[in-house]
Structures are given as C-alpha cells and as structure tokens.
Amino acid sequence: MSNEDEFYDAVTGLDSDESYEGVSEASFKDAQPFECSSHRNNGSVPHKNGIKKHRTALPAPMFSRNTVSVWSILKKCIGLELSKITMPIAFNEPLSFLQRMTEYMEHTYLINKACSLSDSIERMQAVAAFAVSAVASQWDRTGKPFNPLLGETYELVREEQGFRLISEQVSHHPPVSAFHAEGLAGDFVFHGSIYPKLKFWGKSVEAEPKGTITLEIIKHKEAYTWSNPYCCVHNIILGKLWIEQYGTVEIVNHRTGDKCVLNFKPCGMFGKELHKVEGYIQDKNKKKHCVIYGKWTECMWSVDPQAYETHKKSDKKGDHKKHRNEELHKSENDEADNMPEVQETVCVVPGSTLLWRIDSRPAHSSRMYNFTTFAMSLNELEPGMEAILAPTDCRFRPDIRAMENGNIDEASKEKERLEEKQRAARKERAKNDEEWSTRWFHLSTNPHSGNQDWIYNGDYFNRNYKDLPDIY
C-alpha cells in the first residue's frame, strides 16, 4: 500500500466497540423522526403514506478491533501529519469519505427553514443551526471512512427532503473531495471542497479543517460561508475512544454583512465544557442580536444577549468552590485521557427558542459503527439503481461492500487491489505525460469568499457517463 493512498486512513481516528453513554434518552424525547425516501425508480417498497423508505440497518454488525495493535503503527509518527501512514482496514467504517461528507445533509430541513424566513437574523439562526448539525453525525463516530479513489463519485437524491447531491474525488495529491447539493425546487445551493489535515499527538488524532463551505439561498440572493471546527479523537492507543470538537466557526452572510461566531469549546479541566457550543449573531454594525448556545451532540438554542448574560452570571455562583473540591480529588492518569462525565442536558435560559435538536439513533447503532439512521442508508444499492448511477459511484466499490457485509478478509484484499490499480493508472499517465482530468468539477474561484474552490459544472444529472475512468 503506497503512502499517498493513505491520507483518509485516519480522517476521524479509530472506531469504538462501545455505545455512547453520555446523553440520556430523555434528552432526545422531542427529536424529530427521520424518514428516508429512496432514489427515484429504485424499486424499494413504499410506506402506506407513499414515501419510499431506505434500510435502517446494515447487512452485518461490526467486528472486534481488539486484535490489531494501533501503537505499533503510530508510535513513530508523533507530531507528524497522517498522510503517509498505512492503517489496517479493521479500523474503517463501511462508507467512503464522499458518503461521510454527504451526512452534512441529514438536517436539510434547516436550510429549507432558512429559505422560508423573511428576517435576515432569523435566517442566520437557521444557517447556524445547520452548520452545527452538519458535524453532529461525528458524535461517537470514531471509525474512519475509506479513502476515495481518484475519480470516485457519489450521488444522493432525497425527494422528501428536497435535494440532490453529487460529489467527486477531484485530487489525489493533496486529497480533495468536492461536493455540490441543490434544492429540487431551485431554492438553495450548498457546495464545498474538503481537505482535512490530520496529526497524531501520542494519545490522540487531531483533524484540522481545510476548505470552505458555501450555502446560497436563491430567493434572498444570499451566500453564507464557513469552515468546520477542529475534531480530536482521544485514546486511540488505550482507553475508551471519545471525540471533542473545538475552535471558532465564523459564518458570514456576504450580502447583509451579518455574522455568526460560534465557539466550539474544548472540554476543559473539569469536563464541564465538553460538547458545548456558544456564540452570537451580529449585524454589519457589530450590534449583537442574539446568543446561540447548546451542544453539538444534542441541541442548539437562541436567546436575547442580555438574558443570557444575566443567566450566566447567576449560574457561576458557587462554581468556584465546587471546582476547587473537584481539583483536590482529581486523579492523574498517564495512560489514557479519561472522557469527562457528560452533562446530560443543556441548561435552557428562560425565553430561549429551540433552533435544532439531534435525531435519536437506532437502538442497534452501537453494533453498527455508531451510524445514524441516515448513515445506515447511504451505501444501500437497491434493484434498478445500477442502471441509474455512474459506474464510479461509491456503492459499486467492492471493498466497502464486502466490509458492510461482514467479510473483512475480502474487504482487505479488494482494498489492496483497488489501491494497486490506482497506482498503476497513475504510473501509466506519468509515462504518457498525461494530466488527470476531473469530470464534474473544475478548479476556479469561489465568487463569495474569493478563495480557490472546486466548482460543479452542472452536467452530472444529464446522465452522460461515457468515457468515465475504470477505477473499480
């Protein structure tokens, strides 16, 4: 396996066999149920209400990773970028990174809500909730997706959610994944190109976000841009795996000048800040209109800034004595970064408005890579889809298919075969002095951010798949 084929081999660290224990069922009692519709003409069985459904489980449960030594692989890589490390397939989850990226769309109803609102501050609230919800699927998802092959694609059409999406692996060095989603009613466009940069720090893997995400709301002629927070997977060598996200996410409305600044907080010494997100929305004159707060694993709320500050001051009373007692009894652990005890619910400030609440996961999620219901359906290949999808679609990858079917040996062999085929094709292009040509995206300038970006050419859904590369 070549070094250059391994960038995505640790995009989110390693997978855990344990279920999440931090958030109670009560905290999900108001969660909106997620219903999946099928791809058009895919032959799935409809509900009684006429909405077609996708599967809600994988063909086989995940398998144990206990026999693989992570330390033997990573011990020489402390402080280095994880672009040249070969990781065993046992730590994968049965999705391509292109499919993992598609999970941004799980809460598309928030985009639809933003499109329907007449007030720019309220639209920013909905967009901010969507930006947080887009990373919520990473909660307890410590498995790594498969590296997309150069030229690999993935499409998803969800009629009841009102969108269709196409993504393509547009670059191998550096590995870049581009995506473009659009509302079926022509009301929004959501696009970006992702290049996560990872480093190993002894007991953890840190992913630095690279790439800009853009949401265009057509009716209001608005464009919003932002980047995702940092993500860190703890205890990849020893102990229970756990994830925290941290850093500042700045969402800009390029038409109005409104800005939302969200602080994804690190867990801190006592773990009180774990999963918390706090920020504010201000207009172009820097007047703060509301405070946004909550947890990226649970829910997000909006409230008047003065009410929030009053509540925050009241909440701090007595905390110093409590923290002092905790510090006196705090034990050191040099072997693992113990996950702090999770505060089960967000303390809601009186007068707050709920912006978003996470969907509860199926009861069997912990046995299936901690997938959400949405993720369970992403690699489903139903009868009739073969005639519709591009031959480069992730669903046709034999290594991912074998893994989700529970055949780890076949998956490993197929993964090695595909990577060798990719290397041979690259050598052949170099021999003939040929440049790789992307099919559905081209490198250009994002008109809103001014940064270099991969822009969709609009041709994919014409279904002209002639001359596509044979990558599988």
Residue 392 confidence (pLDDT) above 90 = yes
In terms of pLDDT, which residue wins out, 344 or 379?
379
Rounded average pLDDT over 141-164: 93
Whole-angstrom Cα distance, residue 313 to residue 377?
Answer: 45
pLDDT at 269: 65
Query: Among 73-82, 85-94, 285-294, 387-396, which stretch is predicted with the lowest mean pLDDT?
Result: 73-82
As beta bridge partners, residue 157 has 164
Angle, CA 39 vertex, CA 34 and CA 43 arms, to 5°: 110
Size of the chain in residues: 472
pLDDT at 340: 57
In terms of pLDDT, which residue wins out, 36 or 90?
90
Q: Which tokens in the block code for residue 409?
A: 């040996």
Query: Among 43-47, 189-193, 341-345, 425-429, which stretch is predicted with the lowest mean pLDDT?
Result: 43-47
Whole-angstrom Cα distance, residue 233 to residue 242?
Answer: 6
Residue 327 confidence (pLDDT) above 60 = no
CA atoms within 13 A on the CB side of 384: 8
The mean of the pLDDT values for the chain is 82
For strands 92-96 and 144-146, give the pairing. Answer: parallel
C-alpha dist (Å) from residue 322 to 276, 288, 318: 20, 32, 7
Domain limits, the chain: 3-245+365-462
Please report which confidence band the pLDDT of residue 38 belongs to, taking 50, 70 and 90 as the band edges. Answer: very low
Query: Among 211-220, 226-235, 266-275, 457-466, which stretch is predicted with the lowest mean pLDDT?
Result: 266-275
Q: Which tokens in the block code for residue 91?
A: 């730590």
pLDDT at 71: 55
| Per-residue 3-state assignment (H helix, E strand, C coil) for the chain | CCHHHHHHHHCCCCCCCCCCCCCCHHHHCCCCCCCCCCCCCCCCCECCCCCECCCCCCCCCCCCCCCCCCHHHHCCCECCECCCCCCCHHHEEEEEHHHHHHHHHHHCHHHHHHHHCCCHHHHHHHHHHHHHHCCHHHCCCCCEEECCCCCCEEEEEECCCCEEEEEEEEEECCEEEEEEEEECCCCEEEEEEECCEEEECCCEEEEECCCCEEEEECCCCEEEEECCCEEEEECCCCCCCEEEEEEEEEEEECCCCCEEEEEECCCCCCCCCCCEEEEEEECCCCCEEEEEEEECCCEEEEECHHHHHHHHHHHHCCHHHHHHHHHHCCCCCCCCCCCCCCCCCCCCCCCCEEEEECCCCCCCHHHCCCCCHHHHCCCCCCCCHHHCCCCCEHHHCHHHHHHHCCCHHHHHHHHHHHHHHHHHHHHHHHHCCCCCCCCCEEEEECCCCCCEEEEECCCHHHCCCCCCCCCC
Asked if 284 and 257 count as a contact pair (C-beta separation under 8 A), the reply is: yes
Please report which confidence band the pLDDT of residue 2 belongs to, taking 50, 70 and 90 as the band edges. Answer: very low
pLDDT at 312: 83
As beta bridge partners, residue 260 has 251, 281
Whole-angstrom Cα distance, residue 443 to residue 252?
Answer: 23
Residue 470 confidence (pLDDT) above 60 = yes
On the question of a cis peptide bond just before residue 174, with omega within 30 degrees of 0, the verdict is yes
pLDDT tens profile 245-294: 888 999 999 999 999 999 999 887 667 788 899 999 999 999 999 999 99
For strands 242-253 and 259-264, give the pairing. Answer: antiparallel
Percent of the chain with pLDDT over 90: 58
Rounded average pLDDT over 379-384: 92
What angle in degrees, to the nearest 10, is found between the helix axes of 120-133 and 109-116?
A: 170
Query: CB 19: neighbour CB atoms within 10 A?
Result: 13
pLDDT at 298: 93
Residue 328 confidence (pLDDT) above 80 = no
CA trace torsion 420, 390, 462, 464 (10° rounding): 60
Please report which confidence band the pLDDT of residue 34 belongs to, taking 50, 70 and 90 as the band edges. Answer: very low
pLDDT at 242: 75
Please report which confidence band the pLDDT of residue 319 belongs to, taking 50, 70 and 90 as the band edges. Answer: low
In terms of pLDDT, which residue wins out, 271 or 164?
164
Query: CB 457: neighbour CB atoms within 10 A?
Result: 12
Rounded average pLDDT over 14-23: 32
Residue 42 confidence (pLDDT) above 50 = no
Q: Which tokens in the block code for residue 236?
A: 């990849």
Residue 21 confidence (pLDDT) above 60 = no
pLDDT at 198: 73
State CA 4 to chain mean position distance.
23
In terms of pLDDT, which residue wins out, 371 or 88?
371
